[in-house]
Every structure is written in C-alpha cells, then in structure tokens.
Amino acid sequence: MVGKKMIWLGVAILFSTLWVWGTAHAVSEIRIGQIGPTTGWATMFGTEGLNGVKLALAERDYKFKGIPIKLFTEDTKADVEVMRTKLDSFKTRDKVHFIIGPSLGHEGMAAVDWGARNPDVPILIGYSAPEDITMRKATPSVIRPGWTGPQVIFHFGKFCAKDLGYKKVIIVGQDYSYPWDQAAGFTRGFLENGGEKVERIWHPVDAVDFSSIMAKLTGMKKEYDAVLCNSGGAQVVAFFKQWYQFGLDKIYPQILGQANVPIVPMLTELADMALNVYSSLHYYDGNPSEANMKFRESYLKAYGKYPSVIAVQGYDAMRVAFKAMEAIDGKVDDPKAFITAVRQVKMRENESPRGPFYFDKFGNPIQNIYIKKVVKKDGKLMNIAVKTYKDVSQFGPYAAMPEKYMAQPATSREYPPGNKDDYFREIEKYFGKDYMAELKKNNGWKE
Amino acid sequence: MSLILLMSILNGLTLAALLFITASGLTLSFSLMRVVNLTHGAFYLAGGFVGLSVLKATESWIIAGLAGGLCMAALALFEERFLLRWARGNDLIETLVSLSIAIIIGDLILVIWGGYPKTIAIPQALGGAIKIPIINLPYPLYRIFMLGLAIVIIGGLWLFLKKTNFGITIRAGVDNFQMVSALGINVRRLFTSVFGLSGFLAGMAGVIGGTFMMLGIGEDWRILTLTLIVIIVGGMGSLGGTIVGALITGLIYSFATAFIPEFSLFVLFLPVAIILSIRPQGLFGKEV
Amino acid sequence: MIKERFFLYRKTFLALIVAGIFISIPWVTSDFFVLMAIRVMYFGMLTMSLTFLAGELGVVSLMQASFFGIAGYFVAILQTRYGLPFPFPPLVGIAVSLIIAGLLGMLVIRVRGIYFLMLTLVLGQLVWALASQWSSVTEGDTGIMNVYAPVLFGISMEKSKTAFYYFQLFFFAGATWFLIALRRSPFGLMLRGIRESESRMRMLGYPVSLLRYAAFVFAALVAAIGGVFFVYFMGLINPSSVSLATNVETLLAAILGGINTLAGAVLGTGILKTLDVVLSGITKRYLLFMGIMFLFVILFAPKGIIGTVRNYGRSFLSPLMRWFGLGED
C-alpha cells in the first residue's frame, strides 16, 4: 500500500507545479486563439483554415497599429470534448481576446454552445456550416464569416431543375448533419423550381466501399436523371473512383457535387474524374478578381499549393477581425465593442477573394453564391462560375421570413420530404398559402 | 435473381478478398505468438502510401505493391526484433507496444504524406469493367483481379504451410509451441520471419486497398477494426476461419450498405457479438 | 506519549493532507486549474474503472468508455427531451448503464487475457456504432447539446465552477472510497484468490464466475458516475465520448500511472490531460511524442509510474514514507 498513498502525494505535487498557470498577462498585445482539427481524418479542414489565418496575419507582420499580435493555435482532433477543453484553455490560460475556428459541423455546434455559456469571448466560426450556429442557437458573441450548408446549395437545386432540366435526382451522402443540411437545401431549390423527386441514400460517415451503392444506382437509372455526391474529403475520392470503375459515367450524365466535392485539394486527387462536375459555393478558385488572384499567389508562395475555400475562410475571418479592430481602434479587450464592430463589417468588392459580403442580424454573411463547373485551363483543373446569384442570405429565397423558416424542424435524413407532393404539403404548413400561390405564379423562385 | 442482389454478392466477395489479404497476416502472427498486433492497420496504411510514392517514381503498379509490402515487412521485422522481443512472454505488454507503434506510425504518415486523402491510380491493364459471362453483368475488372489475387494468396499460404519445411514448423509451433522449441528449432527466427511475412501482407494489402478505395488519415484504425472483426468471427489463428470470417464480414458489409445503409455499422458489429457470446473462441478457433 | 499518539493517527493524518489539498484547490489555484481538476476527476473515474478491472480481474477492457457514455447519453436525453428534474436523469442513466453492463458482462466474463481485450474492443465499437448511427435517439455525430448542470442547495453548478468542483469531488471521493473498500472487503480477497489460482478457488466452492461478474458491474458503476459528471460539465455528448480513441486514451492513462492501481489511474489521467493541453500548444506533433513516451513507459516501466516508484523510489523515499506510517504492507 506504500506507493499508492505516496502517489496521492504525487498527485498533489503535480497539481502544485501547475499552480502558476493562469496568472495575469500584460494587456499590451492582442491575443488570438485559432482552433481546428490538425490531426486525424479532418486534418485538411483544420490546417487550411489555420494557414489562411496565418497568411492574413503575415500580411500585416503580426501587428496591428504597432501592437504585436500573438496567435495561439490548438488542435481539436475532430473531437468536441477535446475542443471544449482547448476553448477553456484559450479563455482561462491564454486569456485570448477572441477565437477563430473551428472547422467541422459538430465542432461548430459545440462551439456555439460554449459561446452561449461564455459570452465574454467572441468567436469567429471557421469552416463549420450547420445552420443553427447562426439560426436557432445563435448567440451574440458568435459570428460566422463563413457560410451555412443550405445557403450555398439552395440555388444549385434551382439550377439543376431549371437550367439542366433534371426531374428526379438521387443524393448519395455521408450520414450526419452537414450532408443532411446540404440535401435539404438542394431539395428545396429543386422541388420548388420544377423538380419532382429527390431520393436520398445515406452511408456511414467513414464508408469507403461504395460498390453496393453503385449497384443500387445502376438499377435506379430507369427512373432517375442524375446523381449528386453529398460527401466530403476521402469519401469523395472513393466515390468518384468507384463511379468510374462501375461505368456509371456512361449511364448518368455528369455527376453533381455538394459544396465540398470539387474544392481545390480534391481536384488534385480526383484529376480528370472531376472534369465537368457541377456544384455551388460562395467562392470559386477560378475567380479572376484581383483579390482572389493576389490571395492565390501569396498562398502558393507561403505554402506551396493553391488555397481552397477553407483557407479563404480562415483568411477572411482574420481580415474581418482586422476591419473590426480598426473600427474600435484596437480595443479588443472590450468584447462587447468588438462583437458589435465585427457585426458591422462590410467587405466590399475586391476586399475578399470570395467577393463582397456583410452580416445579417444573426451573424452569418449575405454573399454571392456561384454555380461552378470544373474545367481544364492550361492543363490545370479549376472551377469557373457558370452563374452567379448575388446577395444570398442564409435563408436563401426565404430571406423575408426567417422566423417561418426557423419554425420548421431541424433537417434530418428524411426532412424535408423528397417527394414533391409531401414536400409541398409540408412547406404550406410553415410558409402559408400565399407563398405557395406565389411559387405557382412565378413558376418557381423569382430571379 | 435481381441485379442488386447479384451485385451485392459480388461486392461482398471482393471486399472479403481485401479483408482476407489484410487479416491473413494478422492471424498468422497471432496464432504463433499470441500477440494481437495492433500495428497491423498502420502497416496497411503506411504500405499504401509507400506504394503511392513508388508508383509516382516508377510508374509500375507491381513494383509499387511489392515496395509497399517489403517496406512494411522491414518495419515489422524491426518491430519484432527490437521492440516486441523486449517484452516477450507478456502478451498484454506486447499488444500495448504494438498499440504505441501504431500511434507513432499514424502520426508519421501525417508528417510525410500530409493530411489529404489520396488514391492510387488503377493500372491501365486492370481498368474498366468486363462483362461477366453467364449472368451477363458488367463488373470492374480490378475487383475481379482482387478476388483472384486473394485466391492465389490463399493457395500460396496453404502450400507454404503444408508443403514447405518452414511452413510445417510454423504449424507445429501453432499447435504445440513447447514441443517445437524443445526440438531445437530456432524459435526466434521463426517468430521474426512470420512477423515479417505478416507485415508484407499488410503493406501489400494497403497498396491493393488504396487502389481499390483510397488512402487517408484514420483509415488505419478503420481497417484494423474490420480486420479484428474478421479474425474474431473466424476464430483467431485459423486460416480457414479467416477465410470464412472475411466472407461473412464482406457480405454483411455489402448487403448492409445496399439495403440498410443507415445501420450498416451496427449490423456489422452485431454478428460479432452474437458469435462471441455463443463461441468465444470464434467459429473455427480452438478452445481458449 | 504525544509521538505515539501521532503515529496512531498518521494514516488519518495523511488522508487529511490529501483531502486538504483537494479541498483547497479552488481557493489557491487559478480558474483554469479548477477546470483541469474537474476534467481529471471525471476521466479519473473512467480510468479507475479500468484499473480496478485490471487489478482485480487481471483483464484489460477497451469498453469502459461505453458505460461512461451510456450514462451520459441517458442524462442528456432524459433532461433535454423529457425534461426530467434532477436527480432522476443521473439515477436512471447510471441504472441503465449498470443494466447494460450486467447484460454484456455475461458475455465478456467468460473470456480471459487478450480475448477479453478484443471482445471488449468490438463491443465498445458496437456501442459507438449505435451512438453515431441511431440518430433518431442520439442525434448522430452532432450529439445532444444543451445539457445543464443542476442547481443544488440554491447554487447553480452550471454557473459556479467551484461549486461544480466540490459537487464532483464528493462523488469522486465516494467512488474512490468504494473501490478501495471493495478491494479490502472479503469480496476483494476472494477476487485476489481467483487471480492467484482460479482452479483452487473453484475447488473450494467459491462462485468464481459470479464474483468476476460482480466486479465487472462494480467497475461499470464507477465509469457511469464519471459519465454523469462528464455530460454535466461539457453540456453535450456525442459519439466521440464512446469511441475507440477515448477507450485507448483511457488505457494509456492507466498504463502511464500504473495499470493495477487506483491512485495510478488518477495520476495517469492527470498527467495525460495536462500533457495534452501543454504539448498541443507547443507542437503539432504531440501524438508522435505521446506514442514514443508510451513506448518507453511500456518497455522500461511496464508497471507505470506507481510501480516504478514502488520499485526504485523506496530506498530513496523510505524515511519520509516511514514517517507517514507508510511502511511495508
């Protein structure tokens, strides 16, 4: 029993060595915490975001009006328990003035929950896209200079129905909230603009063998017009590969992709398989604007590869923070003032690689949405915009009635219904007869 | 028979082929040394990445496969010779050693190859689909090749274990370890070589699997879990059991993703629990 | 006279010192330290349930986090979805966790050694698969949010971390006492007998399987209590709390401290959680660092810090220990 008791002493000693933590810091520097998954399966999503933040800081030499800026970075391991620990560390140990991140859907939801309990630490959400961060769970201290899943895909549904003329579409995706959101946004745009049916197939998040699904898709060709790949990261690579192996490219027209499918890092891996893929996003890498060109080149110089939208958002988040700091003259130690300033930031044309944007009252940007197509230019694959929808809010076509939109249940595997009749019955419940009549009159959404 | 049913069976068989190639090495080393080598998944993934780099340099898929296998064999030899041997005799400690090596390799992969998902291009000769006669169904040629390769490996292992002196020694070691060492056979060399063979199979499986699906961070643990399911169901240490275990796992996975994708993971783990509750040693395992 | 008297109570004295340190933490340390201490305690309970099994049954479990998580999930579901008042969610949560431990225990208790490790690994993954795919109940990978710690005696555990700390400390001390008492009880002695010679105990007519089974359920109880505090403190629960990574991390913490001892569990968890926060701030390669560290611990100090201190530190520290009455046992 000797050592055991002694170890209790050891525990005490360990505790006392940590005593020193949390002592007061000087106020003469701006402290920023950046968080995201930089190890594990989601490494790509965390690292690119971090690189973007660093690039924006390096542009200003890690200084704001002579005040040095210190960046603290932490890894979430894609685990929310770890993330909450790190957020607490940022707050109580590093005493950061604000936090940028995280990147993944469930991380973002946990971060907004933390934000509601710690309203004195502003959070600028990174790539994380669940609607509720800036809708049902919105809290003043959490602002998202990013996007929501449905925001970028509402109009893609419309595009597929109106411009590509599809009537019935199959969505194959990973079984968790982010792809559910994407499927929901697409379904709304598609069915309200003349589409007839959306069938959804869900597979485990980390599935890599899609052969059974390919078999199923082969059999479904009789009824359906097109397939939308609703996954991200490694699953996209596996899906595309097997799509071609099973010869599905010959029986379906060009595969459609959700927002994360043809982003820059994926293009390198997918190579020619990605050619002609349609998708939609609030950024496209082939944007010829001056801001985008400059950003791409300096990113390439710093990190040896071209940036993706994830990096753009890290970059934008930091630049939004800079603009807010300018408005309050660097007084980041007043979180209320900083939050108010961030919410009033307006990025003008050519200020951000993605184009102009500003925040709605929930803290999500109102921004351009681009319908993209992958093309080959000078031997390199890139996305070009085939259509641009300007100033789209997170409520998309329902921007005038956010309360009605939020009264609907959260999206799930089956919600909203993918069948035209069920769908319209459902939205009539929430948006009323007037909306239905207007849809009918305009034959879909107004331009 | 409906199209989807037929396809699901074929898909299950080809997945089983990959699982068998991966699991056969693990079951060999387990049956001889009583070590559950938790590094096996890391060997798979690292082998795949090595293959990817070699393929870029040589443009030969066969060399890539061999290189992936050989590099992992070397790593496995190192692990056995310098780390596991240190803890020989305590199977738990050995298992934990392999666990920490898996963590180390996993992070090294991230350092060397980065966090982006990668894929190995299918060799030209094996690309595309062929029509399977009789049932008249187009099916990816590469998958048929995988199935064939698994059968060749089964045959090879069977011949090796039944016909060569070395193989016979291994089988004897599995059955009665004390007896073999009492007969003056160099047991250490036996262990090391079997472990090397196991690493080779895992590394090669990584290249095959990386061509078939993709390579990404976290894939090591996924493959390890699937492999463990295979050998737990089949019974640890039995090659025949591994074949059956791979078939069961592959077919369940295939049918579950086709018909109840939302619960495929659960359905995958459930039979394991059932089999274990009836026969803790697995279908073909010897009494514990 | 006085000296003799003192020696009589020296163990109590030591216990008082330890208790004093734990009680004084919120008074003398920083907020961050209190948060870390809370974390170490709930994960400590999880690790203790693993080391209890390792010490008493000689098996390594890779599914203790399942019992931790099941209790947490039930607290979250009952509180957020059905609005049950405190203390019902935690009571039901722990009860359900125990029932499941009771059912699974019947399966796992039959196997030993490495088979136990693999079987618990697969069962743990089964629980994880349910948590991540049964989304109508568990809300999938996002998990259940908006769980709030209860209000006790008019103090909100949610707002005051100090109150939460003491609230948890009470149960943490209780769980530790429970396991120590179990170990010293006739039950513990019988388990020790089984560990040394199972066949002899069976011959002597002891219900060997039943005893082992009971130990498994007791271990699950401690993990479940930890899970309740976990969900209250985090305010949310998602499948990562029952994942293989959590189970492996628990095992690593146990190894680091000393896999057969309860004190080692707490020490190992403390070091691991501290390293996690400190190292990840310094380097992105902390996983590599941890892996190498564990390799060394396993190879050179397989009994963990406690075992090593016991082996080598004795002569060096013995005067001090003797003073505290911590002689040979």
What is the spatial distance between Cα A54 and Cα C136, in angstroms, rounded to a whole number? 40
**C30 lies in some domain:** yes
Give the burial string for C300-310 (b: 16+ CB within 10 Å, else e).
ebbbbbbbbbb
Secondary structure of B188-221 in the HEC alphabet? HHHHHHHHHHHHHHHHHHHHHHHHHCCECCCHHH
Strand extents, DSSP E, A357-402: 357-359, 365-377, 380-392
| Min Cα separation A365/chain B (Å) | 28
Local confidence band at A9 (pLDDT 50, 70, 90 cut-offs): low
The answer, yes or no, to whether residue B253 has pLDDT greater than 60, is yes
Using CA coordinates, name the residue in chain C closest to A78.
C240
Give the burial string for C265-284 (b: 16+ CB within 10 Å, else e).
bbbbbbbbbbebbebbbeeb
What is the side-by-side order of every strand in the sheet holding A63-64? Answer: A63-64, A67-75, A30-36, A98-100, A123-124, A142-143
The pTM for the full model equals 0.86
What percent of chain A stands above pLDDT 90?
A: 49
Supply the range of the domain harboring residue C226: 2-247
Higher-pLDDT residue of C325, B52: B52
What percent of chain C stands above pLDDT 90?
A: 27
Is the domain spanning A30-147+288-363 CATH 3.40.50.10140? The answer is: no
A150-281+368-442 and A30-147+288-363 share a CATH fold: yes
Find how far residue C10's CA is from the centre of its chain.
27
- Tell me the chain B residues in contact with residue A206 when contact means C-beta distances shorter than 8 Å: 218, 222
| Min Cα separation A106/chain B (Å) | 18
Report the residue from B138, B139, B216 with minimal CB separation from A234. Answer: B216
The answer, yes or no, to whether residue B228 has pLDDT greater than 80, is yes
Predicted confidence at residue C317, as pLDDT, reads 58
Predicted confidence at residue C324, as pLDDT, reads 52
For each of the domains in chain B, give its residue range(s) and CATH number, in order of start. Answer: 3-278 (1.10.3470)
The answer, yes or no, to whether residue C2 has pLDDT greater than 70, is no
Local confidence band at A191 (pLDDT 50, 70, 90 cut-offs): very high
With CA atoms as reference, report the closest residue to A124 among A347, A349, A309, A315: A315
Predicted confidence at residue C283, as pLDDT, reads 76
The answer, yes or no, to whether residue A294 has pLDDT greater than 80, is yes
**C317 lies in some domain:** no
CA distances to B100, B114, B219 from A40, rounded to whole Å, are 16, 11, 10
- Tokens 């699982």 belong to B19
Contact between chains at B103 and C129 (C-beta distance less than 8 A): no
**C292 lies in some domain:** no
What is the spatial distance between Cα C51 and Cα C263, in angstroms, rounded to a whole number? 9
Predicted confidence at residue A142, as pLDDT, reads 94
Predicted confidence at residue A24, as pLDDT, reads 37
| Min Cα separation A62/chain C (Å) | 18
Is the domain spanning A150-281+368-442 CATH 1.20.1530.20? The answer is: no
Number of domains chain C is built from = 1
- What is the average pLDDT across B61-90? 88
Chain segment B96-144, per-residue pLDDT in tens: 899 899 999 999 998 899 878 888 888 888 877 787 777 777 788 888 8
**C253 lies in some domain:** no
Chain segment B204-224, per-residue pLDDT in tens: 999 999 988 888 888 888 888
Do residues C142 and A130 touch, judged by C-beta distance below 8 A? Answer: yes
Q: Map out the domains of chain A as residue ranges.
A: 30-147+288-363, 150-281+368-442
Chain segment A66-79, per-residue pLDDT in tens: 899 999 999 888 88
The answer, yes or no, to whether residue B285 has pLDDT greater than 80, is no
CA distances to A138, A361, C18 from A406, rounded to whole Å, are 11, 14, 52
Contact between chains at B119 and A237 (C-beta distance less than 8 A): yes
Predicted confidence at residue C21, as pLDDT, reads 82
The answer, yes or no, to whether residue B163 has pLDDT greater than 60, is yes
**C199 lies in some domain:** yes
Q: What is the mean pLDDT of chain B?
A: 86
What residues of C are in the B interface, CB distance below 8 Å? 60, 106-107, 110-115, 117-119, 121-123, 125-126, 129-130, 132-135, 244, 248, 251, 255, 285, 287-288, 290-292, 294-295, 298-299, 302
| Min Cα separation B281/chain A (Å) | 28
What percent of chain A stands above pLDDT 70?
A: 94
Mutation target to probe the B interface, by most B beta carbons within 10 A, among C298, C300, C303 is C298
Run of H or E residues at A63: strand A63-64
Chain segment C113-134, per-residue pLDDT in tens: 778 888 888 889 889 988 988 8
Do residues B108 and C287 touch, judged by C-beta distance below 8 A? Answer: no
Contact between chains at C309 and A10 (C-beta distance less than 8 A): yes
The answer, yes or no, to whether residue C313 has pLDDT greater than 70, is no
- Tell me the chain B residues in contact with residue A413 when contact means C-beta distances shorter than 8 Å: 262
What percent of chain C stands above pLDDT 70?
A: 91
- Tokens 């403190």 belong to C233
Predicted confidence at residue A21, as pLDDT, reads 44
Predicted confidence at residue C17, as pLDDT, reads 82
Chain segment C229-247, per-residue pLDDT in tens: 999 998 889 888 998 889 9
Local confidence band at A22 (pLDDT 50, 70, 90 cut-offs): very low
The greatest distance separating any two alpha carbons of chain A, rounded to the nearest whole angstrom, comes to: 84
Q: What is the mean pLDDT of chain C?
A: 84
Predicted confidence at residue A254, as pLDDT, reads 81
